[in-house]
């Protein structure tokens, strides 16, 4: 099966078709209040939505278009968050006043932003907003050649390192907003930046439980650039590809068992049964051995428990940073006892690495679940996709 290409624009990973039927956003006028990109306490603007939502699979956010503004609600900005974060998107070209109780008001389209995760980068590429990204944290992890060139040319500046965002660097850049994520722990830097007038746009795609749900967060990014139609067009192609591949995988004559992950210290980390990673294996026509667990995050198991269940697994897919079978057993000799290791049926998602260690799977992969699924089907059922060439994955020598 040949994957349908996403609409192109700008020459990066996958791109959108030009859409001319954009809806112009006009601002409701409320006397006596000044519009700003801060949270306001005032009378809530209420009107009837013209389109309830663009969202089909993602459970973590909702987009609602009203007559003259767009509402974006991140229902759980981080695991354990006590409440949702609501954004009111209004047209920056309109000289008008509006008041929204409990919302962070954003004038769109944004034109100068920063980001903290490589998973955000393909969004900017796809909707044609590469030049709008002016700052990035932890740039060593960037794989995209286009963004690497911008880093080298000084068009994209470093605003953080392994410890997170540097407050002074971000403040000096003065972006309109920071696309970021939070694990719910120390948010002191986020709070300081928000007080300094830099709004935090929380992307919580990592909490999604399905591959398509995670990929659909491109619409979250696109909303702040007034490019929802473009993002919708891109996602529709990815969705179509994915569903066609999933249907094809269900015709497989066998259902191979799948093991994943490696041990760190005394703990083996692997996705729970409700995790999007587990969904990939099932959709590719495999049987993930921990499918029945209810955790949507990550399981933390002992080596012995994984050994007991996964010893005879047909495939071992995803082994952290190991590059060869010998590297695996050099670190842990018991890996060599697994059937998948003995049968050279071990695969990793490091087929595309750059000299700095940037891994394209950790950049483009989450936004292109259709390509990931094609790789997994080819690994487990090569007869179903005989012409497919592995893109993100490779077999360990």
For 308-345, the pLDDT digits (tens) are 999 999 999 999 999 999 999 999 999 999 999 999 99
| Position 187 pLDDT exceeds 50 | yes
The residues near 304 (Cβ < 8 Å, ≥ 6 apart) are: none
d(CA 391, CA 383): 17
Q: What's residue 7's pLDDT? A: 66
What confidence tier does 358 reach under pLDDT thresholds 50, 70, 90?
A: very high
Tell me the pLDDT band of 40, cut-offs 50, 70 and 90: very low
Closest to 376 (Cα-Cα) out of 280, 271, 241: 280
Where along the chain do its domains lie?
Answer: 61-226, 251-395
* H helices present in the chain, as ranges: 121-126, 145-153, 167-173, 188-195, 211-215, 218-223, 228-249, 276-283, 303-310, 325-331, 339-342, 369-380
Query: What are the tokens at 297?
Result: 């995050």
The conformational region for residue 240 under phi > 0 = left, psi -120 to 50 = alpha, else beta, is: alpha
Domain 61-226 and domain 251-395, same fold? Reply is yes
User: Is domain 61-226 classified as CATH 3.40.50.2300?
Assistant: no
Q: Is the pLDDT of residue 21 over 70?
A: no
How far is it, in rounded angstroms, from Cα 123 to Cα 301?
Answer: 34
Rg value, the chain, Cα: 22
The CATH number for 251-395, chosen from 3.20.20.30, 3.40.50.1980, 3.40.50.2300, 3.40.50.720, is 3.40.50.1980
Could you tell me if 392 and 377 are in contact, meaning their C-beta atoms sit under 8 angstroms apart?
Answer: no
At residue 95, the pLDDT reads 57
pLDDT of residue 375: 98
Comparing 160-164, 191-195, 377-381, the range with the smallest average pLDDT is 160-164
31, pLDDT greater than 50: no
Q: What does each C-alpha distance from 351 to 181, 218, 246, 357, 392 come to in angstroms?
A: 26, 24, 23, 12, 5
């Amino acid at each position: 099966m040949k994957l349908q290409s996403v609409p192109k624009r700008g020459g990066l990973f996958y791109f959108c078709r030009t859409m001319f039927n954009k809806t112009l956003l006009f601002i409701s006028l409320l006397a006596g209040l000044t519009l700003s990109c801060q949270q306001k306490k005032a009378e809530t603007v209420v009107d009837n939505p013209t389109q309830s939502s663009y969202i089909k699979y993602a459970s973590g956010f909702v987009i609602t278009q009203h007559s003259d503004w767009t509402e974006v609600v991140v229902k759980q900005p981080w695991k354990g968050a006590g409440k949702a974060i609501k954004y009111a998107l209004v047209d920056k070209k309109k000289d008008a006043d509006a008041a929204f109780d409990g919302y962070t008001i954003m004038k769109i389209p944004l034109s100068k932003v920063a980001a903290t995760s490589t998973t955000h980068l393909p969004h900017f590429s796809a909707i044609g907003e590469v030049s709008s990204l002016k700052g990035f944290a932890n740039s060593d992890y960037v794989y995209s050649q286009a963004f690497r060139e911008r880093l080298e040319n000084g068009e994209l500046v470093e605003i953080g390192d392994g410890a997170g965002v540097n407050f002074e660097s971000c403040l000096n850049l003065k972006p309109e907003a920071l696309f970021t994520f939070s694990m719910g722990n120390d948010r002191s830097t986020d709070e300081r930046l928000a007080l300094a007038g830099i709004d935090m746009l929380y992307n919580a795609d990592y909490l999604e439980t399905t591959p398509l749900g995670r990929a659909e967060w491109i619409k979250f990014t696109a909303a702040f650039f007034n490019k929802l139609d473009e993002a919708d067009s891109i996602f529709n192609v990815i969705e179509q590809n994915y569903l066609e591949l999933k249907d094809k995988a269900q015709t497989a004559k066998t259902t191979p068992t799948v093991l994943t992950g490696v041990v760190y210290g005394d703990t083996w980390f692997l996705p729970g049964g409700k995790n999007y990673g587990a969904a990939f294996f099932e959709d590719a026509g495999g049987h993930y051995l921990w499918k029945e667990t209810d955790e949507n995050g990550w399981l933390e198991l002992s080596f012995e428990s994984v050994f007991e269940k996964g010893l005879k697994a047909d495939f071992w897919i995803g082994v952290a940073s190991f590059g060869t079978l010998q590297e695996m057993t050099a670190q842990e000799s018991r890996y060599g006892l697994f059937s998948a290791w003995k049968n050279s049926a071990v695969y990793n998602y490091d087929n595309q690495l750059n000299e700095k260690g940037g891994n394209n799977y950790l950049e483009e992969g989450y936004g292109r679940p259709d390509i990931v699924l094609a790789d997994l089907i080819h690994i487990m059922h090569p007869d179903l996709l005989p012409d497919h060439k592995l893109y993100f994955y490779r077999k360990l020598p």
